Structure 1
Amino acid sequence: MPTSIRRMTTTDLDRAATVLGDAFADYPWTNWCVAADSHQQRVTELQRLYLEHLALPHGLAYIDEEHNGVVAFIPPDLPEPEESLVAKIVELHGDRFEHAAEAEQRLSAMDVPDDAWCLATAGVSRAARGRGLGGDLLKVGLAELDRRNAACWLDTSTHRNLPLYERHNFAVADHVVLDDALEVWRMHRPAI
């Protein structure tokens, strides 16, 4: 039976953040740049902030009907976040915020296609992994970007994600190792 996927609304925020908190609880990127104490709670709250203040009002966000997976894209012309939001993000990163700032500095030097959207987050709860839901979510969101004739880019810090994204026409454009501890691959997908 095909998975039913729809645009997210504000009523989905709590569940979507919980799914992403679960999905990224053991992810190399979040382990590196989000404090260890109350780690999953911090990751969940960060994901909720990004969805609520960036993806929903300015971008595209999708969730499956069973609330097991989420994908969100943000546009290239995203407005600067309010200072209060930035302060909350810094607070949630905790004692690892310097890692996040260092990463931002290094990653900002990497190439991004002109006018490309960013695949900001894609995650499936650990209990629902291995069923193709991540690919289904990507397919729906990328189809909308294709209708807009928009390119897309993403960063991933897990090598095992590369084949998934390659199946959706992303290609590795760059690779960096941060602080001898964290690998990040930047991938681009052309407008189709």
Structure 2
Amino acid sequence: MANVRAAQRNDIHDVAKALALAFQDDPVMTWMFPDDTMRSTRLPRLFAALARYQYLANSEVATADDGSIVGATLWAPPDGWQQSPLDELRQLPALVWAFGRRLGVGKEMSDLMKTHHPAEPHWYLSVIGTQPSIRGGGYGRSLMQSQLDRCDADHAPAYLESSKAENVPYYERFGFEVTGEVVVPGGGPTLWPMWRNPR
């Protein structure tokens, strides 16, 4: 079983690195950053911005480590998945640095996901990922279960979007159910929104 703990500010670099490796072949990230070299450079910046400005403030960044950080999750608490205009402004320079000329594409994706986001209060799993080299070792399961135990204790539902069809059965094993499909316009990928009622 992996050691799962709350991330600290000095973990952001390692969290971003682990998530960037995890999402290198992700369909959404590939669509936003089509060039492999660009994606390798931009993803650590993107995940660092998300962790630092959106999720770490609520202490909702968890890490899995075996001596070094090999995976992480970014969760938003009920009614906390949308940033305030002030928080968005604070995050903007980091997002510009992450996206560069692709900032418009990132905004389109964010707006599309917000449009389909459920209104009922829930815990939102924005990101979960482990480095490819340790997949199958139970790290992702440990990360997921640690928060779902909290959801169940609080009698709170959880929500995520799967960006890979092959990951849907994995999430179903934790009790998530597909609620529809979101197709990104302009030849983009498909997302599968998934909802989990507390147990």
The verdict on how the C-alpha distance between 1:84 and 1:53 changes in structure 2, with shifts beyond 3 A counting, is closer
Q: Is the 8 A contact 1:113 1:152 kept in 2?
A: no
**In structure 1, how many angstroms separate the alpha carbons of the residues matched to 2:14 and 2:110?**
28
For residue 132 of structure 2, what is the aligned residue in structure 1? Answer: 126
Corresponding residue to 1:103 among 106, 109, 113: 109
**In structure 1, how many angstroms separate the alpha carbons of the residues matched to 2:45 and 2:90?**
15
Question: Identity of aligned pairs, percent?
Answer: 23
For residue 89 of structure 1, what is the aligned residue in structure 2? Answer: 95
CA apart distance, 1:147 = 2.2
Q: How does 1:45-124 map to 2 (within 5 A)?
A: 45-66=45-66, 67-75=69-77, 76-78=79-81, 79-80=83-84, 81-124=87-130
**In structure 2, how many angstroms separate the alpha carbons of the residues matched to 1:108 and 1:15?**
28
CA apart distance, 1:41 = 2.0
Q: Is the 8 A contact 1:70 1:123 kept in 2?
A: yes
* TM-score, scaled to structure 2: 0.86
Q: Is the 8 A contact 2:45 2:94 kept in 1?
A: no
Q: Is the 8 A contact 2:179 2:192 kept in 1?
A: yes
Q: Is the 8 A contact 1:176 1:185 kept in 2?
A: yes
Corresponding residue to 1:169 among 163, 175, 183: 175
Listed one character per residue, the Cα deviations across residues 127-151 of structure 1 (whole Å, up to 9, x for unaligned) are 1112221112100121122222221
How many pairs does the alignment contain?
Answer: 191
* TM-score, scaled to structure 1: 0.89
- SS of the residue corresponding to residue 184 of structure 1 reads strand
Corresponding residue to 1:152 among 133, 147, 158: 158
Q: Is the 8 A contact 1:5 1:140 kept in 2?
A: yes
Listed one character per residue, the Cα deviations across residues 54-108 of structure 1 (whole Å, up to 9, x for unaligned) are 2111252211232111112012235422414124314422333333333333333
The verdict on how the C-alpha distance between 1:182 and 1:146 changes in structure 2, with shifts beyond 3 A counting, is same
Q: Structure 2: where are the runs of 5+ without partners?
A: none
For residue 185 of structure 1, what is the aligned residue in structure 2? Answer: 192
Q: Is the 8 A contact 2:20 2:44 kept in 1?
A: yes
Q: Is the 8 A contact 2:53 2:90 kept in 1?
A: no
Note if 1:27 corresponds to 2:18. no
**In structure 1, how many angstroms separate the alpha carbons of the residues matched to 2:188 and 2:80?**
31
The verdict on how the C-alpha distance between 1:35 and 1:87 changes in structure 2, with shifts beyond 3 A counting, is farther
- SS of the residue corresponding to residue 180 of structure 2 reads strand
The verdict on how the C-alpha distance between 1:88 and 1:14 changes in structure 2, with shifts beyond 3 A counting, is closer
Q: How does 1:133-148 map to 2 (within 5 A)?
A: 133-148=139-154
Q: Structure 1: where are the runs of 5+ without partners?
A: none
Listed one character per residue, the Cα deviations across residues 158-190 of structure 1 (whole Å, up to 9, x for unaligned) are 111101111111111120221233111111112
The one-letter amino acid of 2:11's match is: D
CA apart distance, 1:16 = 1.0
